[in-house]
Amino acid sequence: MHEKRDSDTRERLITAAATLVAAAPGEDFSLRAACDAAGVTMPTAYHFFGSKQGLIDALVERGFEQYLTAKQATESTGDPIGDIRAGWDAHVTFGLAHPGLYTLMYGQVRPGHYPASHAAPTRHLAELTARAAAQGRLAVTPQAAAAHVLATNVGVTLRQIVLEAPDPDLSAAVRDATLAAITGAHRDQDPFSAAIEAASAAPDTLGAEETRLLIAWLGRLRDRTSR
């Protein structure tokens, strides 16, 4: 019973902080305000988090959990480049829906500090670029490709948050330019890979399941003819 009470109190503090951040995106909040909203004392907050930064770190971790849940709800296209494209759009959508939380997750940085909560989404992106490299789809290393995608995706999202206006045309243009850069789309490309990229770019044309099947068949044909 005591452990459940502790868990409930900790949850109330994180929820209170999240509400304050959502109400004033990009603005600082006081630990006392979070305590008042949660109905606890300041010593209680220090007991659970050690400091205000500890509470912020817990809130950021919660944000990444929500972010990953939202991304996992997106069906895989069966193609790593297509999944990177879909992941880009999901990233922007999450940021615009939660500007205050996103600013804490990606906009407030400290030199040399890399939160552990960043690891899971970064690892997922690295897995996709590694798969793309194994298929001969990248013009750069998987590490460089992941860095390019993450840096530009975050930058585009933060810009839209700063301007308080969604800009889907900007996001799509930067996304496509980034994918072209990491895949060397302007180089001579085998017809199967070109067809895979075209199918991945427009999954609604055939439908999600049909697109996955088409990509799988094209991949098999590409692999067989390249032997």
Give per-residue pLDDT as tens, 48-89.
999 999 999 999 999 999 998 887 777 777 899 999 999 999
- Which region among 59-63, 92-96, 116-120 has the lowest average model confidence (pLDDT)? 116-120
pLDDT tens digits for 147-176?
A: 999 999 999 999 999 999 999 999 999 999
Q: What's the confidence (pLDDT) of residue 169?
A: 93
Whole-model pTM? 0.76
Tell me if residue 59 falls in helix, strand or coil: helix
Q: Kindly tell me if the per-residue pLDDT of 129 is higher than 80.
A: yes
The whole-number average pLDDT for the span 2-26 is: 86
Q: How many CB atoms lie within 10 A of CB 74?
A: 13
- Which region among 16-25, 140-149, 163-172, 189-198 has the lowest average model confidence (pLDDT)? 189-198
Q: What's the confidence (pLDDT) of residue 189?
A: 58
DSSP state of 73: T
Higher pLDDT pick, 16 / 189: 16
The whole-number average pLDDT for the span 204-212 is: 63
Domains of the chain: 51-106+113-225 (1.10.357.10)
Q: What's the confidence (pLDDT) of residue 202?
A: 60
Q: How many distinct helices (H) and strands (E) make up the chain?
A: 11, 0
Select the highest-mean-pLDDT range: 25-39, 96-110, 115-129, 209-223: 25-39
- Which region among 15-29, 35-49, 70-84, 117-131 has the lowest average model confidence (pLDDT)? 70-84
- Tokens, residue 17: 């902080």
Q: How many CB atoms lie within 10 A of CB 161?
A: 22
Angle at 94 between CA 91 and CA 95, to 5 degrees: 85
DSSP string spanning 133-158?
Answer: HHTT--SS-HHHHHHHHHHHHHHHHH
- Tokens, residue 117: 């909560």
Q: What's the confidence (pLDDT) of residue 111?
A: 79
- Tokens, residue 190: 């085998």
Q: What's the confidence (pLDDT) of residue 207?
A: 63
